[in-house]
Amino acid sequence: MSEPDRTVPPQHQDRQPGRQEPMRPQPRGEQRAYRAAGKLRGKCALVTGGDSGIGRSVCIAFAKEGADVLIGYLEEHEDARETEKLVRQEGVRCVTVAGDLGEEAHADRLVQRALDEFGRIDILVNNAAEQHVVKKLEEIDQAQLERTFRTNFFGLFHLTRAALPHIPQGGCVINTTSVTAYRGNPALIDYSSTKGAIVAFTRSLSQSVIGRGIRVNAVAPGPIWTPLIPATFDEDSVASFGANTPMKRPGQPDEVAPCYVFLASDDSSYMAGQVLHPNGGQVVNG
């Protein structure tokens, strides 16, 4: 793999969720250099936020390892179609389902569609999220607080609750938390709070279901170049994104997705309640 870009040009998108197609440079999320070993052959995965960014790279890596994939996303139809095409190129089944994870009923729809298409759910990846920059706590109104928690945590909770009865022994749940759960972020207070809740949820649920042969772990990415970044920050902030890490650059989705493959496969069979940290060298506890 060639050296990732250390900076990105100033850019901004006016709405969340962001779109991947307008981003320059494009995130590296197609796993073109990935060498598969059939680690997920015969498995079926449900991945939220799978249309772009980290989610896209995870879906493609899973497909390369042999898994069928259901992609849950909000309304980024063009991005979702592109991811579906890339997944299907690996010779596996793929379906896309649009809808708002903030609505509890959508969790049931996602699970039922996965069962209708694949008959099972071996791997659940809770990856969908949103974030909104604020300068101080007083600027976070009730609507934003509820919206951020509804998408980032309540959606994850409802989907996991709906999927668990259908995850067999040997299956797993992988949650996307964030470095902000450990380091905090003064401009992303509500977002960071949801990610902290996900860490606690991961640890607690892992102990609850370990006797059923289901493993629950998480990944805490640092600054990764995804559509969420230009959709969240102003142009100047985007231009310096990732520069404050020890590696002095943003990470790429392809540098994060292998963590999910590891946690989904038997390679991590002795791990539960843990968090992996692809974050550019930032040392955090936990």
Residue pair 175/126 in contact by the 8 Å Cβ criterion: yes
Report the C-alpha gap between 250 and 8 in whole angstroms: 9
Rg of the chain (C-alpha set):
17
Report the C-alpha gap between 74 and 52 in whole angstroms: 11
Question: Euclidean distance between the first and final Cα of the chain, in Å?
Answer: 29
Q: Which two tokens stand for residue 159?
A: 């989907």
Rounded-to-10 torsion of CA 31, 275, 182, 236:
0
Q: Could you give the residue numbers annotated as active site?
A: 191
Which residue in the block uniquely carries the two structure tokens 């042999």? 66
